[in-house]
Structure 1
């Protein structure tokens, strides 16, 4: 198999074996600590923890509306790391492929006083989005054009952005109002962004036809393909880094029970209903001396010539192109979040969370989250939490997962139940966290 951007190929496999928000379910709880800050920076204030020290947390997500696999194929891949794709295909000219990995490194949340708190976070993140792409064409590039069918495609407003970056963030939150049964707090995160690199491509129009009999690929249109300096698609060698600034902003309102409305009591769990609003990942990273080539795709090519070649080699050897050096500006996956959390009784809660992308699917040089609405019943105490997230995700009807927190350890997935018990799956996610919570 040729080298078709190896890490993109790995992500494509994850799409069919392993979603877009990180730590689905865990970030919504009252004991989420520093993970709640990722979703809404106001969560840092009035926490039940005096201090929360994250050691390491990892969250992975992948999905596609092109291919769904039988659960047995998923389990086989997990067992022997070899995938025989017999999944049901939903090929269109506007298929979507998406994935991200979020690693939260050593981080600290600290309560300065009863009304204000501070957090310092370190994260490593990667995102990839293919927007409006022919699923058949992507699969054939990966599988050396072994398709047993002849097909045509017409791709319009295609864009692809793969981005790897790190973050060092500082979050400040404080209580803004305590009056009778009303409680209001806000928070702000400022992040120093360290860009490792990006690969990007786009096309306003690309049409074509693959003939299985003579293995010829005929195309017409244009394609822009490029990368940031030193970010090699074959081996992901990071030779240069860039920097930028980003931020998150959030607010939370609580309607508290009358018996605990005294502001001196300040019980975090006294609310009957809680509403949170936040905007995350505001910002972008600029890369000087990025290279992009505009290719004239009007040609018919024998796909046997593609074998064991990278995408750059395929484009350079078969299509004429004009290169350009410019400053690329890669936008972060800016998203709007809303949370409504209802205290049913004592330790039982029911929450509804929506995460919506503020980045258009056709925007160039940008990543975006997958629109998701999650309903989640949960039980939580200081030592233990258990939750059952049920999500309606863009490009997929319903996913169901579960997770638990026991002291310093958290493990969960927003899709594991639907992955295991549904006949077919289009997306999957998993996460784990190890930290040291210090309670009041």
Structure 2
């Protein structure tokens, strides 16, 4: 999608490498949109709410490998059907539609769930152990006209002005090991409440970060001079290579998720198996706070540039952005500790049982990190409604959602025993002329079901 995202900075190099990986893992990636509402999601649902570890249909659920990919921008939109049928002849300059504004956003998330499992410990508590590797990139509040000129080149005779406020970019690659504990908190004839917490040990490979409270200016197409006002800081963690992140010199940190799930268990008459109801609840409501925490990187470098000045735009054709800054603007470099915060988010989920194994679920994810905050990644706010059919060995869901910066999204996914595959945007990507985001997922696990069927 971002073939022209050649901002020529280390941050953009990381974003490009993430996009490159996601495109090559497109058939092997997972974003869980729609799937996490499934009562048979098992260990995958723990990432959204640790309370989901308890009272599942499983004696144990073992994830072998899963991967997720999600990228997008409100700057560029394209027709995926034309892209796929172009035979490699798709021209992003002429065939992709652009939507420049004073506050454009780019985002990429890659999430690989490694060997993980959940297991019941009696009738009132359960535990899970999860391993993940995650790569996150956000570029927030950049003036689209400036981005387009730096990316594509400055046009002689084409004047323009720009004004970016709270501009920031953060790229972060890290892994985590999570231990989850969940248990029953309340049970009556019709009411059920459970809670859970995940404690995470974080291992950071490193990151890159840039920010500016305000960066404005103008370009004179006759003199080819770019005049700027403001300031810009740029930094990185020690030894971090954006093109090929390595996990050799890890920095430690801690994180946590916490959540509760309430169920209204009205008597369901769809059938009985061994004296138990096939469906346990009529209505379910879940609330969780995920990704609390940060990683502190010692001996990180951060350079603050005084961006009041001017530069010949031809320099952008032969130098990367960091070289342009160093050659034209005075800067002060400091070395010290730098925290990169996790993308803390509030997760809200509701699920209603229609009958005959049909459900309709609602999931809302709200970022607790604002797009103006530096040294942190932020998730894209989403609201998704997902009707689904659910059974022990097979589920199918079709999520319909609204996404911040990306408008409307409609997808399709299914679970067939150990295999889960789908996308929260595949249908809109196939039919829309200007898709602004894309995601796709796949997972493989070993489900060990209870004797009682839900």
TM surpasses 0.5: yes
1:257 equivalent in structure 2: 266
Give me the CA root mean square deviation.
2.6
Q: For 2:426, which of 413, 416, 422 is the aligned residue?
A: 416
Output aligned runs, 1:27-426, within 5 Å: 27-75=36-84, 80=88, 84-86=92-94, 87-145=96-154, 149-233=158-242, 236=245, 240-258=249-267, 269-426=279-436
**Retained in 1: the 8 A contact 2:54–2:125?**
yes
Q: For 2:437, which of 427, 431, 435 is the aligned residue?
A: 427
- TM-superposed CA distance for 1:343, in Å, is 0.4
**Retained in 1: the 8 A contact 2:7–2:147?**
no
TM-score (norm. length: structure 1): 0.92
Check 1:213–1:50 CA distance in 2 against 1; reply closer, same or farther (3 A cut): farther
Q: Could you tell which deviates more after superposition, 187-196 or 21-30?
A: 21-30
How many residues are paired up? 435
Q: Could you tell which deviates more after superposition, 211-220 or 8-17?
A: 8-17
**Retained in 1: the 8 A contact 2:346–2:367?**
yes
Could you tell me how far apart the structure 2 residues matched to 1:383 and 1:175 are? Answer: 26
- TM-superposed CA distance for 1:137, in Å, is 2.2
Corresponding position: 1:9 with 2:16: yes
Could you tell me how far apart the structure 1 residues matched to 2:175 and 2:229 are? Answer: 38
Could you tell me how far apart the structure 2 residues matched to 1:265 and 1:209 are? Answer: 74
Q: Which runs of 5+ in 1 are unaligned?
A: none
- TM-superposed CA distance for 1:268, in Å, is 7.6
Could you tell me how far apart the structure 2 residues matched to 1:135 and 1:199 are? Answer: 21
Corresponding position: 1:438 with 2:435: no
Deviations 1:230-254 (A, max 9, x none): 1134554666321110000011111
Structure 1's consecutive aligned runs of 4 or more residues displaced over 6 angstroms after TM superposition are: 12-18
Check 1:234–1:127 CA distance in 2 against 1; reply closer, same or farther (3 A cut): closer
Q: Which runs of 5+ in 2 are unaligned?
A: 1-5
TM-score (norm. length: structure 2): 0.89
**Retained in 2: the 8 A contact 1:335–1:357?**
yes
**Retained in 1: the 8 A contact 2:107–2:137?**
yes
